[in-house]
Amino acid sequence: MELWKINLLNYKNLSYFFFIGCFVVGALTASSYSWAASADKNKLPQIGTSGFSVLSVDKERLIGTAMMQQIRARGGIINDPVLIEYINHLGNSLVKNANDVNYSFEFFIVNNQELNAFAFFGGHIGIHSGLITTADTESELASVIAHEISHVTQRHLARRIEAQSRTQPLTLAGIVSGVLLTMINPAVGMAALSTSMAASQQFGINYTRGNEKEADRVGITLLAHSGFDPLGAPNFFNKMLEKYRYTSKPPAMLLTHPLPESRVSEARIRAQNFPKISVAPKLDFELAKARIKARYEGDPEYNINHFSSAISKGQYAFLAAARYGLALSYFEDKAYDKALAILNDLLQEDANNLFYIDALSDVLIALKQFKQAEKMLATVNWLMPNNQVAALNYANVLLEMGNLDASAQVLQDFLLVSPDSFIAYDLLTTVYRKQDKKALMHVSKAQVMALVGAYTQAIDELQTAMTYADDLPIISKRIKGRILQLQDQQEKLKRLN
């Protein structure tokens, strides 16, 4: 489904985000300053357990949620159910083998061709799309994700803030704001971090290198224990070094994750200590790469030539992935019949592949073949109830057909198990608007705003919904309850200070 192109509301200019950003930074600064005044400044951090003096796990969750809301509001996240499903399946296959997991992790992809990945409070991990397309194997991609998971489980950001607060408590605001900047623009963010730590810059650099070594150690162990090739880590490190050895501008990941050659050697030695693991190429990994290239990189004409050439030269580990990329490129070029022929053939080979089903749904909608799309997706949604690819595509096709009640029911059922789905609420807002259900439309719109942290505006939407719910007592009670929930979330943020 073309939900990655969905016309979402623009929340970038809401003043609330400035408040949240300043408030989170201010709350961290105030709490750490009072703590640091009485701390033993000569006390060294304990590996893997420190950081709790400045930030509890509960505070990390709250701050992580607020930061994630800011990132959503800025835009740039790929809201693509197929890729969301893939990256979270891969990430959670690693998390289930990790130690010291205090959160349910959320993995997301940033539409950026730079090589970068980052982790922050509360188990949030972002991967730039360029990193996925650059990796040659799923083990290489998994090695980066395992590294970022290790930063989270070892609480490196909290420990960094705690260590810095012992010498310069008032620079904490600069550190946190620098972290936020680094996620969006690594070069600017690292400059902000460097400025904020001017008086103890070498200490900060050394501490970062210590964190990186620990994340390498824990990450490679996690990689091996999860059934991936542990050599994926040094192989990807070496690839980055070779690619950028003679360039003046290193990739974003080398700015945020320093990579001296000694670190590559140490990673290779560590990986070789594990039994050799032979991992077969993964079709889903190749399909994800093809999807990113076809939909987020280059133009349709270039991509058609690229995938056609790859097919003729046998350059893909799976011919099916190149054909899939070609079908998506034809779709982008509005050559729907050519895309349809390829996708029908692919589905004959793999009937329940969600990559193919999603793409075929787009093609059938473009060709106005709604009945065929509805029949296919009804079956898939029955086989995989509340799977986000199946449910959201099915709801979208029902919406296109004008079957609004059925579309709303599918989305409501899906939101019971996935209450933070930005796409589902946005679709539901459209459904309610077409049904002229004003109260429910404003409620759904409020949920979208809440997911980007605009609590004040979300409450305003709910209060507007109340004016249309006078003769709907049950809905009215639910609206009042939701207002109280959002007010409580605001209060929890305030209590951080």
Known binding residue 151? Answer is yes
Using a 10 angstrom Cβ sphere, with 0-12 exposed, 13-18 middle and 19 or more buried, the burial of residue 91 is buried
- 80, 138, 162, 216: which is the annotated catalytic residue? 216
Cα gap 485→497, rounded to integer Å: 20
Instruction: With beta carbons less than 8 A apart as the criterion, state whether 103 and 124 touch.
Output: no
State the residue for tokens 């701050």. 63
How many helices (H) and strands (E) the chain has is answered by: 24, 3
What local confidence, expressed as pLDDT, does residue 204 receive? 46
What local confidence, expressed as pLDDT, does residue 87 receive? 98
Contacts of residue 446, defined as CB under 8 A and 6 or more positions apart, other chains included, come to 458, 459, 461, 462, 465, 482
What local confidence, expressed as pLDDT, does residue 187 receive? 42
Quote the tokens at residue 101.
Answer: 């997991």
0.85 surpassed by pTM: no
Using a 10 angstrom Cβ sphere, with 0-12 exposed, 13-18 middle and 19 or more buried, the burial of residue 279 is middle
Quote the tokens at residue 287.
Answer: 């399909």
- 85, 148, 162, 362: which is the annotated catalytic residue? 148
Largest CA distance in the chain: 71
Instruction: With beta carbons less than 8 A apart as the criterion, state whether 311 and 323 touch.
Output: yes
Cα gap 150→215, rounded to integer Å: 5
Contacts of residue 47, defined as CB under 8 A and 6 or more positions apart, other chains included, come to 154, 214
Phi then psi for 458, rounded to 5 degrees? -65, -40
Neighbours of 120 (CB within 10 A): 23
Cα gap 171→164, rounded to integer Å: 8
Cα gap 135→9, rounded to integer Å: 33
Cα gap 451→446, rounded to integer Å: 9
- Residues with pLDDT less than 70, the chain: 1-55, 161-207, 244, 246-260, 496-497
> Is 216 part of the annotated catalytic residue set?
yes
Known binding residue 147? Answer is yes
Q: Is 112 helix (H, G, I), strand (E, B) or coil?
A: coil
> Is 136 part of the annotated catalytic residue set?
no
